[in-house]
Amino acid sequence: MHTTHAENEANYLKYKGKYKGLLGWILSTDHKRIGLLYLYSIGTMFIVGALLGLAMKFELLAPGKTIMNAQTYNATFTVHGVIMIFMIVVPGLPAVFGNFLMPIMIGAKDVAFPKLNLLSWYLYVAGVFLVLSALLFGSGTPDTGWTFYAPYSFKTGTNLLPAVFGAFVLGFSSILTGLNFLVTIHRLRCPGLKWTKLPLFVWTLYGTAWIQLLATPVVGITLVLIALERVFGVGIFDPALGGDPILYQHLFWIYSHPAVYIMILPAMGAISEIIPTFSQKHVFGYKAIIASTMAIAFVGWLVWGHHMYTAGMSGTAQYYFSLLTFIVAIPSAIKVFNWISTMYKGSINIQTPFYWAVSFIFVFMIGGLSGLVLGALSTNVYVHDTAFVVGHFHYIVFGGTGFSFFAAIHYWFPKIFGRMYDKAWANIGWLVFFIGFLALYTPMFYLGLMGMPRRYYDYLEEFHGGNILSTFGSWILATGLIIIITNLVRSARKGPKAESNPWHGKTLEWAVPSPPPLENFDEIPVIAEDDGPYNYK
Amino acid sequence: MSEEKHHIVSYKFYVIILLVLLALTFSSVEITSIELGKYTVAGALLFAVVKSYLVLTYFMHLKFDKPYIKIMVGFVFAVFVVTIVITLLDYLYR
């Protein structure tokens, strides 16, 4: 592989351009700086969302009112959901690691539209402030849940419009990022980097970008319709005016189910990078992983109705959605098979990112298999809207995207900051977090099967034991989170300097210095015929 | 990219397409004055399809683009059709 480094050029962290200080960051169109802007803003909102989650778990420590009343609880789970979904897991991996790494991984100096990329971050920040304004001003914090279901969303007296508009603006940010990534991957790959030589993380970003581009406008227009319904009473979803509330659910989930794949595909991509590196072995079934990525992106689009089995949908549609839901499990299982096969007979180097990656597979499997319980019509009716759904959802979304995000930050940290973290503390943080995660979410499966409904601040005495364990789990998880974040923040400033390729990776980002220079490469690299992203000898 | 050939379309041609689009817009409004019964929506959609075709083909340059761009747009259209068909599985059989 022929690459040249810009050894003498200042790295992107130290580069001083036209503007200095804060302006040098918020006016920079460098994809790496924008990636870090996303990291800091998403990280900040994650802490807010996590604190709200902790408050909810504290409320559920005992039956009856513990620290908040029913209305406050409704508002808390709504804001927790809106923050975690629209501000963290949807933009998460693409906006942070996609922005930072994808152009380097394809041998480009930046994304195709750098100014549009910066505009995406501005829109993200604007969306965040709009949602937060719904909490601080007006007639009460929104209490609809993150799904904004009709008809309650246009009946509630709370300050819903800024939150809905904020989600709309956040969607715009997502669309622009998707568009930028699609064009970049099509047009800016370096010479010799064929589609069949693209790193798998880039492939998953490509699949994700399609979903961002096509699905997000659907929820955008749906949210606009909610606003029109609230303000003008146009009667699209309101049954009293001849509207159909189930139509809202169709439109909402046409986006929001593919959005789960916006979250999980890049997460799978990051895991697909980490496992070959720490196994020092060519990824098993490279083309099968690509095919399964695109199959998930496509089939995942068509299964939205499994959120609506009990909503009053036709039996024909229920049958169809259940069938396709089972089919989408196949490409996900292919990936798990490929990851495990990659490890088989590999030279496994057990480091913190590898711990995160294998624990990702563990929690993702549990989340996926519990998803089949929800995908099947008969069992879904039994556990619908119970704590079982909350357990499944968090195993997939937090277990999937969250574990992968932490795997990715520990994997690419030396590349991003040019420093290494304290590995012992990183491993302790992972272990505490992992134990806390299992203790927090596993009881929810049991509680749901026993009939505990979700979204209630109160519960029957028989559910007390499971809720105590779950709340203790949230405290353990929070302790792990504090260890991880403290270690990373401290190491970004004071950690020992990292080598350019500490894990012996083969993808292009490991061929440039750490941290990378401003324009990544002096000369665009050329990929030789026998080179590839996972060519471990 | 500089070595790629770009097709040049004259302003006159764009103006003609614009006028056709405006004519179709007025027609789609006028047709509502004719009683077509259950075909009213079908009529409006027909006008919309022709207008979309013109915009995609000429204003968005699909006519002059490489085949893979056309395939991508075709794929998006197919996804749209599939989405509508699946939604109708609920509405038609409820």
Per-residue confidence (pLDDT) for residue A351, from 0 to 100: 97
**Confidence band, pLDDT 50/70/90 cuts, at residue A430:** very high
Contact B86 A314 (CB under 8 A): no
Per-residue confidence (pLDDT) for residue A388, from 0 to 100: 98
What's the structural domain count of chain A?
1
Which residue range forms the structural domain that includes residue A226?
Answer: 21-511
**Confidence band, pLDDT 50/70/90 cuts, at residue A288:** very high
Per-residue confidence (pLDDT) for residue B42, from 0 to 100: 82
Residues B26 and B42 occupy one common structural domain: yes
Contact A305 B86 (CB under 8 A): yes
CA distance A91 to A177: 9
Which residue range forms the structural domain that includes residue B77?
Answer: 66-94
Residues B44 and B76 occupy one common structural domain: no
Residues B41 and B12 occupy one common structural domain: yes
Q: Residues near A267 by Cβ (< 8 Å), separated by ≥ 6?
A: A93, A360, A400, A401, A403, A404, A405
**Confidence band, pLDDT 50/70/90 cuts, at residue A9:** low
pLDDT tens digits for A101-113?
999 999 999 999 9
In the 8-state DSSP scheme, what is residue A86?
I
Q: Are A370 and A395 in contact (CB under 8 A)?
A: yes
The nearest CA of chain B is from the CA of A214 a distance in Å of 8
pLDDT tens digits for A366-386?
999 999 999 999 999 999 999
Contact A320 B87 (CB under 8 A): no
Least-confidence region, from A173-182, A274-283, B64-73: B64-73
Number of C-beta neighbours around residue A31 at 10 A: 26
Q: A295: part of which helix (H) or strand (E)? A: helix A286-299
What is the pLDDT of chain B when averaged over all its residues?
87
Is A302 touching B (CB cutoff 8 A)?
yes
Q: Which residue has the tokens 């923050």?
A: A83
Per-residue confidence (pLDDT) for residue A4, from 0 to 100: 46
pLDDT tens digits for A113-160?
999 999 999 999 999 999 999 888 888 899 999 999 989 998 888 999
Q: Are A127 and A86 in contact (CB under 8 A)?
A: yes
Contact A302 B93 (CB under 8 A): no
Nearest C-alpha neighbor of B27 from the set B46, B53, B52, B13: B46
Per-residue confidence (pLDDT) for residue B29, from 0 to 100: 86
Q: Residues near A42 by Cβ (< 8 Å), separated by ≥ 6?
A: A87, A88, A91, A92, A95, A96
Partnered with residue A2 across adjacent β-strands are A526
CA distance A31 to A8: 20
**Confidence band, pLDDT 50/70/90 cuts, at residue A8:** very low
Residues of A in contact with B86 (CB under 8 A): 302, 305, 317, 320
What is the pLDDT of chain A when averaged over all its residues?
94
Nearest to A314 among B76, B83, B90 (CB): B90
What's the structural domain count of chain B?
2
The nearest CA of chain B is from the CA of A311 a distance in Å of 11
CA distance A512 to A505: 12
Q: Mutating which of A248, A251, A306, A313 best tests the B interface, going by the most B Cβ atoms within 10 A?
A: A313
Residues of A in contact with B82 (CB under 8 A): 302
- Asked if the structure places residue A523 within a domain, the reply is no
Per-residue confidence (pLDDT) for residue B5, from 0 to 100: 62
Residues B28 and B72 occupy one common structural domain: no
Q: How far apart are the first and last CA of chain A?
A: 14
Residues B46 and B12 occupy one common structural domain: yes
Helix locations, A418-512, DSSP H: 423-449, 464-494
Per-residue confidence (pLDDT) for residue A210, from 0 to 100: 94
Contact A320 B79 (CB under 8 A): no
Indicate yes or no: pTM above 0.90.
yes
Answer yes or no: is pLDDT of B1 > 50: no
Answer yes or no: is pLDDT of A503 > 80: yes
User: Which tokens sit at A266?
Assistant: 């890049």
Residues of B in contact with A298 (CB under 8 A): 79
Number of C-beta neighbours around residue A427 at 10 A: 17
Residues B47 and B7 occupy one common structural domain: yes
Answer yes or no: is pLDDT of B93 > 70: yes
Q: Are A286 and A342 in contact (CB under 8 A)?
A: no
Per-residue confidence (pLDDT) for residue A469, from 0 to 100: 98
Residues B70 and B52 occupy one common structural domain: no
DSSP helix/strand/coil, A440? helix
- Asked if the structure places residue A186 within a domain, the reply is yes
Q: Are A313 and B94 in contact (CB under 8 A)?
A: yes
**Confidence band, pLDDT 50/70/90 cuts, at residue A417:** very high
CA distance A417 to A514: 7
Q: Is the dihedral of CA A489, A491, A493, A497 positive or negative?
A: negative
CA distance A500 to A514: 5
User: Which tokens sit at A8?
Assistant: 């003498």
- Of chain A, the percentage scoring pLDDT greater than 90 comes to 88
Residues B45 and B79 occupy one common structural domain: no
- Asked if the structure places residue A15 within a domain, the reply is no
- Of chain A, the percentage scoring pLDDT greater than 70 comes to 98
pLDDT tens digits for A180-189?
999 999 999 9
Residues B50 and B75 occupy one common structural domain: no
DSSP helix/strand/coil, A61? coil
pLDDT tens digits for A456-485?
999 999 999 999 999 999 999 999 999 999
What's the CATH code of the domain at A223?
1.20.210.10
Contact A250 B92 (CB under 8 A): no
Residues B50 and B5 occupy one common structural domain: yes
Q: Are A293 and A199 in contact (CB under 8 A)?
A: no
Q: Are A12 and A516 in contact (CB under 8 A)?
A: yes
Mean pLDDT of the A295-301 span: 90
Answer yes or no: is pLDDT of B3 > 80: no
Residues B73 and B94 occupy one common structural domain: yes
Answer yes or no: is pLDDT of B4 > 70: no
pLDDT tens digits for A518-529?
999 989 999 998
CA distance A305 to A321: 6
Per-residue confidence (pLDDT) for residue A48, from 0 to 100: 96
Residues B36 and B77 occupy one common structural domain: no
